[in-house]
Amino acid sequence: MPIIPSRFRPPPLLGGGHVQTILAALLPRRVALDYRRERRELPDGDFLDLDWARAGHGRLAILSHGLEGCSANTCIRGMAAALNAAGWDALAWNFRGCGGEANRLPRFYHSGETGDLAAVIGYAAPEYERIALIGFSLGGNVILKYLGEAPPHPAVAAGVAISAPVDIAAGSRVLDEQWANLIYLRRFIKPLVAKVRAKALQFPREIDVAGAGAIRTFAEFDNRYTAPLHGFRDARDYWARSSARQYLPRITLPTLILNARNDPFLPPECFPFAEAHLNSALFLETPASGGHVGFLDFVRGLEPWSERRVVEFLASPG
């Protein structure tokens, strides 16, 4: 029954969920890391931009970012640098349309898109004897779904999901309906609507943006754009089919889910205690504090505790 007691302890007065979330996003941390970008063409005519942080190691960590994130996010760069120092090469891939250039097709990315991740793994695998998958927030849901929906690539040996909304419907509701989360909701909806408007300039017949500026919730955005652009009936269908929680019982590789209990983005449905109790490969760690992709303890300056925890888990899963 791998429910793991957590050793994360924030400083006094800095343990609140909103405090941890906002400080991690705003504090100016510098990470010494040089990426080498590579563009990978996809069979459907689109492309992915991959950012490599190679250190000459025989094992690789593939990093998946969160909603409207990219490989330049501090949490991604920091994790890549920590893994390099621990004996891993790192590959931070940008979801479609997130690498600084619009992708070529009307579609872009979503919470359940595992085909692109599989393509990245297949491309990188011939060079490495062992691959770990690490995902943040939306990217955490993606890697968990990948690990459970079908047998993963033979080179994949472990996974870590940080602040993962494994029940997307519940996670969307908590952001849409709780007034305390309004600042986060607006921060996400604004760039998503801007991305759709830019996409409509490429594909005016496929995408109608009339009234898009009135969208205020994920339910509205996913109903109008995410679902139809990616082959789902509506937002409910998209959320149901893309949520990773239903796939957790089928995960067979050592996998850590690190979700803080005071994460303002995560409702109770995103803490899969029952699944972890029944699956010896699934390790669930739920510290009382940490916020959303926060986990700041200031033991090593602005380096989050989660980086040290991931390195520790990959060295000895469990």
Q: pLDDT confidence of 3, banded at 50, 70, 90?
A: confident
What residues are labeled active site?
Answer: 137, 263, 292
With a CB cutoff of 8 Å and minimum separation 6, the contacts of 208 are 200
Q: What is the pLDDT of residue 186?
A: 95
Residue 196 burial (10 A CB sphere; 0-12, 13-18, 19+): buried
Task: Return the residue matching tokens 């998958």.
Answer: 133
**Average confidence score pLDDT of the chain:** 96
Tell me the mean pLDDT in the region 263-283.
97
The CA-to-CA distance between both ends of the chain, in Å, stands at 11
Contact 314, 132 (CB under 8 A): yes
Helical H segments across the chain, by residue range = 17-26, 74-85, 115-124, 138-149, 168-177, 182-202, 218-221, 227-229, 235-242, 273-278, 305-315
User: Can you give the pLDDT at residue 311?
Assistant: 98
Q: In angstroms, rounded to a whole number, what is the distance separating the alpha carbons of residues 198 and 204? A: 10
Pairwise pLDDT comparison (111 vs 1), residue with the higher score: 111
Tens-digit pLDDT profile for residues 7-50: 999 999 999 999 999 999 999 899 999 999 999 999 999 999 99
User: What one-letter code names the amino acid at 13?
Assistant: L
Q: What are phi and psi for residue 163, nearest 5 degrees?
A: 55, 50
Q: Is the pTM of this model over 0.85?
A: yes
pLDDT at 103 over 70: yes
pLDDT at residue 4, rounded to an integer: 86
Structural class in CATH, domain 3-167+245-315: alpha beta
CB 281 within 8 A of CB 308: no
pLDDT at 318: 63
pLDDT tens profile 129-182: 999 999 999 999 999 999 999 999 999 999 999 999 999 999 999 999 999 999
pLDDT of residue 144: 98
Helix (H, G, I), strand (E, B) or coil at 282: strand
pLDDT at 1 over 80: no
pLDDT > 90 fraction of the chain, expressed in percent and rounded: 97
Query: What are the tens digits of pLDDT across the range 207-263?
Result: 999 999 999 999 999 999 999 999 999 999 999 999 999 999 999 999 999 999 999
Distance CA 169, CA 259 (A): 17
| Burial class of residue 258 in the structure, from the number of CB atoms within 10 Å of its CB (0-12 exposed, 13-18 middle, 19+ buried) | buried
- Asked whether the predicted pLDDT for residue 202 surpasses 60, the reply is yes
Number of C-beta neighbours around residue 211 at 10 A: 8
Residue 231 phi/psi, 5-degree rounding, is 85, 20
| Other Cβ atoms within 10 Å of 190 Cβ, number | 13
Judge whether residue 189 has pLDDT over 80.
yes
Rounded Cα gap, residues 237 and 27, in angstroms: 37
- List where CATH 3.40.50.1820 sits in the chain: 3-167+245-315
Q: Is the pLDDT of residue 206 over 90?
A: yes
Residue by residue, DSSP assigns 80-125 as HHHHHHTT-EEEEEEPTT-SSS--SSS----TT--HHHHHHHHHHG
Angle at 36 between CA 32 and CA 41, to 5 degrees: 145
Residues 6+ apart with CB under 8 A from 187: none
